[in-house]
Structure 1
């Protein structure tokens, strides 16, 4: 008798080897497996097929198990102490008025300078007095929020290579969402499977819902992220932080990134590079990364051997 298991050709290859045994009539045998998996995702496990053969090898019967079992390995959540988000945005009406007049709107607060603040909002007299850049916050400024776009397009690599890339993509995404929500920054988490999904979360108490969705998510090759991004940036009235998580960079996506940055979004690309896995660089990708800062956007590059925390906290 030969028993073949699901997972023998996946990330569990060395843990699900085919078993050959002899079994008397009406007897039974139990196998126990301790599985180890360091990559998140949904995996098929259990018995795939059983081949029964007589002692002389004349008769052979094969029973194929129609439905495998499955397990979900949940991603790690990396606790970030900081991330490069813009803290406030000027509303559309205020932006128009402010192009002619610097001090339109009621003064709400004065605080220290943070990355992304406009020089038009600097309180120059107080800055000179304190010897530290101070910012005026007006009531017409909208609160910080973030649109998080996750690219679920599968790469044309091996199963194991794709698993490693997708795991880092999921973990970096969920870690940034965790940072946002625990900093009380509202998030719109957007991705495409068989339809566009847009999950809104405003507080840390809503993090678990997004976390559960990410753990069950499946990658496919059915949709380009640039098509989703094009819809959102052209129909969004409010400009905010736009966070793009991808392992696929091309010029269609680059054009959308350019348009988003030009339109007033604080655009950040988190790119998972397969270079260490496949042993080569892609000239088009390198050119795109080189030009992203030139168009007013920012990017993080994560190689598969990198630690997520120090890279995203830069």
Structure 2
């Protein structure tokens, strides 16, 4: 509650003069000020109960760099004229209006969206004042949220090499034993891939059997997305982080549109792996990006060093990182062999810009 202390100071002075001096003038002023005070208190608390507000986004979903239009509807459910009501957003006064009895008004607030995520408008409230402008009471509005999606970059003008595919993967020079080379079988369980069903054994046994741990073909595309918190050091506004995610999603969308299955591995606060086989999988990946920012703690070179064997099954590896530092460069060179191809997107280049054999170096452009 805010109070006009000038009025209170004048009222206090009139009270002192009324008791000290008396007389018709000060007695009249005393009762006039007292009536004003009582009416102000009664009216402001009355309207606090009768006035309500509602926040309504024009659209529930937006993209980065859109301008969200938020509508604020204010209702006066009383039978009396409301002289002053002010909409406040993030401590900034939007507009002061009056509302007739049983009426409503509508105000608009525009918010420029610079980052993906869930925007919550929870600092919006109404300030209600009495007819004498002495008391101001604040009424909070129910918070409203909108989802802001990444602006997915069109990557149709890029081409990615497939590598040698499954045949080359099976002949990989990796000295490790292939963990997928077992032939053990078990009964089919819901959720198992149909590609792993052993149809000959299933026909013989009269029920479905799947190969345990067998990979029938190599992975064609593997996307590695770095969501380490260090990316926010590249620019003060976080636009390069948005550009990295936009580019990675653009590549994934391009692949799924071309009917190419792929796997996405994300170096976030927790390791995230997504199999992209249909548009529904891609949409789930986009939703994940809406709800998560780049707050990972582990450097990408440590992340990739943990499970290097996963790259042995990929014919084409596409990496999205903030830069190309020497530690990460060393890991990428170690992953590269003659049976795969690597495309490496980065926001900035570092540690040398010379082309590496079998590795395509590309810059992530601002969105």
TM over 0.5: yes
Aligned partner of 2:160 in structure 1 is: 84
Q: TM-score, normalised by structure 2?
A: 0.52
Q: Offset at 1:72?
A: 2.0
1:259 to 334, 337, 344: 334
Aligned partner of 1:48 in structure 2 is: 123
User: Given the alignment of the two structures, is residue 173 of structure 1 paired with residue 248 of structure 2, yes or no?
Assistant: yes
Partners in 1 of 2:137 and 2:317 — Cα distance? 57
User: Given the alignment of the two structures, is residue 72 of structure 1 paired with residue 148 of structure 2, yes or no?
Assistant: yes
Contact map agreement 2:269 2:296 (CA 8 A) in 1: no
Q: Please list the CA deviations of residues 201-244 of structure 1 after superposition, one character each: whole Å capped at 9, or x if unmatched.
A: 23456433333333433221523222221123245442421111
Residue aligned with 1:304, SS = coil
Q: Please list the CA deviations of residues 18-74 of structure 1 after superposition, one character each: whole Å capped at 9, or x if unmatched.
A: 42637689997542235554x551142424155859799997877778966343234
Question: Alpha carbon RMSD of aligned pairs, Å?
Answer: 4.3
User: Given the alignment of the two structures, is residue 196 of structure 1 paired with residue 258 of structure 2, yes or no?
Assistant: no
Q: Offset at 1:197?
A: 1.0
Question: Structure 1 residues 182, 65: CA separation in 2 closer, same or farther (over 3 Å shift)?
Answer: same
Q: Offset at 1:179?
A: 2.0
Partners in 2 of 1:252 and 1:66 — Cα distance? 49
User: Given the alignment of the two structures, is residue 304 of structure 1 paired with residue 366 of structure 2, yes or no?
Assistant: yes
1:272 to 341, 347, 356: 347
Aligned partner of 1:286 in structure 2 is: 350
Aligned partner of 1:19 in structure 2 is: 94
Partners in 2 of 1:178 and 1:258 — Cα distance? 27
Aligned partner of 1:94 in structure 2 is: 171
Partners in 1 of 2:251 and 2:68 — Cα distance? 33
Contact map agreement 1:185 1:203 (CA 8 A) in 2: no
Contact map agreement 2:315 2:341 (CA 8 A) in 1: yes
Question: Structure 1 residues 144, 262: CA separation in 2 closer, same or farther (over 3 Å shift)?
Answer: closer
Question: Structure 1 residues 67, 246: CA separation in 2 closer, same or farther (over 3 Å shift)?
Answer: farther
Partners in 2 of 1:294 and 1:43 — Cα distance? 40
User: Given the alignment of the two structures, is residue 150 of structure 1 paired with residue 225 of structure 2, yes or no?
Assistant: yes
Q: TM-score, normalised by structure 1?
A: 0.59
Partners in 2 of 1:211 and 1:14 — Cα distance? 20
Residue aligned with 1:220, SS = coil
Question: 1:216-231 alignment to 2 at 5 Å?
Answer: 216-231=291-306
Contact map agreement 2:343 2:359 (CA 8 A) in 1: yes
Contact map agreement 1:243 1:267 (CA 8 A) in 2: yes
Contact map agreement 1:87 1:143 (CA 8 A) in 2: no
Aligned partner of 1:246 in structure 2 is: 321
Aligned partner of 1:138 in structure 2 is: none
Unpaired segments of 5 or more residues in structure 2? 3-54, 56-63, 70-88, 174-215
Aligned partner of 1:132 in structure 2 is: none
Contact map agreement 1:268 1:298 (CA 8 A) in 2: yes
Partners in 1 of 2:325 and 2:143 — Cα distance? 38
Question: Structure 1 residues 63, 226: CA separation in 2 closer, same or farther (over 3 Å shift)?
Answer: farther
Larger strand proportion of the pair: 2
Question: Structure 1 residues 47, 239: CA separation in 2 closer, same or farther (over 3 Å shift)?
Answer: closer
Question: 1:86-125 alignment to 2 at 5 Å?
Answer: 86-89=162-165, 90-95=167-172
Question: Structure 1 residues 77, 303: CA separation in 2 closer, same or farther (over 3 Å shift)?
Answer: closer
Residue aligned with 1:31, SS = strand
Partners in 2 of 1:156 and 1:77 — Cα distance? 22
Question: Structure 1 residues 44, 210: CA separation in 2 closer, same or farther (over 3 Å shift)?
Answer: closer
